[in-house]
Amino acid sequence: MKGKGLNAGFVSWWDHKGEEDAHVLRILWRAGCVFYARTTQPQTLMHLETSNNLYGVTVNPFNRDLTSGGSSGGEGALLGLRGSCLGIGSDIGGSVRSPAANCGLYGFRPTSYRVPVRGWSSTMLGEEQIVAVTGPLSASLEGIKLFMRTIIAAKPWLVEPSCLPLPWKNAELEQPIARGKNLKVAMLWSDDVVRPHPPILRALKEVAQKLEKVTTIEITDWSPYNHDEAWEIIASLYFPDGAQEEINAIDASGEPWRPLSRFIIQENPHVKHLSVEEVWHWTNRREEYRRKYAEHWNQTATSIGPDGEPADMVDVILAPVGPGAAPPLDSAKYWGYTSQWNLLDYPALVFPVSKVDPEVDKVEEVYEPMNEKDAFNYRLCKLTCLVTLLRYLYANGCEDEPEVYRDAPVSLQLIGRRYEDEKVRL
């Protein structure tokens, strides 16, 4: 917004101000939107939480010991408190979907270049290996629909040439049911890297059971294709300059590194200064992975179309948004359930399903983790997440029985193929 702060979570950027109104804001203003607050973001913008040295930690509106998510966590907290009905976030690894899930909201990550981005502020502007997008968060599904219809109706490609000239498709034409075919929904129970916590698995089962009762919907299982490789690729492309712009912005003021800034940059083995040839290498790896994932999806086809194309495939994937509900502060270290779809550039809609119930969501006492990431999240689940800390606290002289996650929102996401945005949000 012209004349208003654009700090991107950096202390050294405290006095940066917008030189013009962002394109998306101009469209929404003309549509009658009222803007009254700019919400918090994390240091570097690259957290699944919201913590910076300008405003401190933004916490979850349901439980101050849990994170609101990030990087659009201020927006998530505001909407979670019903301080607003609609907000805007950005998403390069889950930054719209994480706050939406943690705060019991709807959040939409569109395919790239559908919503304008001119006027935003971040490091590495112009980097195109992993494209960030603008997307809405809302207290209702209707808010998501209204946002997207309004933005696309304004034909943003006429002002911002990078936006694709794709009108919002007629909803009825997009739905298989309207064409006399069943909607095929594939369930992603786990990405085979980190197993979801009990409340997430419960939500998946509850939704699947309800969908199975709908005669026009078919339910099947989704087999994840090398999701660990996807993280290697995207993590290698996030900071092709070795995160030098982020390092410079932090060091310019001498501010402390926030824990999750250290995690995603200093402790990330994939962060390296890449040569031009290395950028080409990883970009080719990205494209090859996208091709193989598309082929993997095509293999769900049960017929052949008139031109020899695969037909009657899975329409959408129903998946976790993260390993669990909103995690305790400074512990959101697994990005795979959201960044996977950023790498593929698939649209994804987050929606609330339930809340954590410690009496139902029991931790598996005997579980053999698949890897260290899985072990970290299992320990997180076992010690702080889903039932009680009773034994742990007894060992430390406390007789209370806190239920850290009771009533925390439990959300899922619906994922579609690239530029099938209309299908996942209806």
Phi-psi region of 27 (alpha: psi -120 to 50; beta: other; left: phi over 0): alpha
**CA-CA distance, 213 to 34, in Å (whole number)?**
41
Question: 38-47 pLDDT, tens per residue?
Answer: 999 999 999 9
Predicted local confidence at residue 363, as pLDDT: 83
pLDDT at 409 over 90: yes
Helix 141-153 vs helix 23-30: crossing angle, to nearest 10: 100
pLDDT at 62 over 80: yes
What are the beta bridge partners of residue 18? 2
What are the beta bridge partners of residue 5? 17
**CA-CA distance, 333 to 49, in Å (whole number)?**
9
Q: What are phi and psi of 87, to 5 degrees?
A: -145, 175
User: What element of type H or E holds 423?
Assistant: helix 421-424
Question: 107-151 pLDDT, tens per residue?
Answer: 999 999 999 999 888 888 888 999 999 999 999 999 999 999 999
Predicted local confidence at residue 387, as pLDDT: 41
DSSP per position, 285-298: HHHHHHHHHHHHHH
